[in-house]
Amino acid sequence: MEDYDVRQLVVGGTERGWRVDTARAAVLIHDLLPYYVDVLPPRVRRVVVEQSQRVVDWARKNGVPVVASAPRPASSIDQRGLGGSLWGLGPSHAEASVSSLGDLGDAVWVGKRS
């Protein structure tokens, strides 16, 4: 994993030739659940969670909606598609409703098919 700090990214700047339109943007937190994140090496897990939290904090400060996704619970391995061979049945309903970022209270949660 390459070391970088999301604060070094230019948000809303023109250095990269584009500008974030906060009125038309959203931040997606995709599968950032303990079920998946806790299998990462401790340093990687810490960096992923810290950097993701910074992005969420920026979004909230700038009025950008936060959307979080998690897989819908599966009752058979066939429902998991390609993810089944990696993660088995995947997280339970309770596990899929907890973010590694802690409280995402104002986030819109989307149950997706894996």
Q: State pLDDT tens for residues 30-59.
A: 989 998 899 999 999 999 999 999 999 999
The topology under which CATH files domain 6-112 is Rossmann fold (3.40.50)
Specify the DSSP class assigned to residue 61: H
Average pLDDT of every residue of the chain: 82
- Residue 95 is predicted with a pLDDT of 85
Asked if residue 82 has pLDDT above 80, the reply is: no
Task: Single out the catalytic residue among 5, 31, 78, 106.
Answer: 31
Is there a catalytic annotation at residue 31?
A: yes
Q: Are 6 and 55 in contact (CB under 8 A)?
A: yes
Asked if residue 23 has pLDDT above 90, the reply is: yes
Task: Please compute the mean of the pLDDT values over residues 95-103 and round it to a whole number.
Answer: 82
DSSP E strand boundaries for 1-114: 27-30, 66-71, 108-112
The pTM is what? 0.76
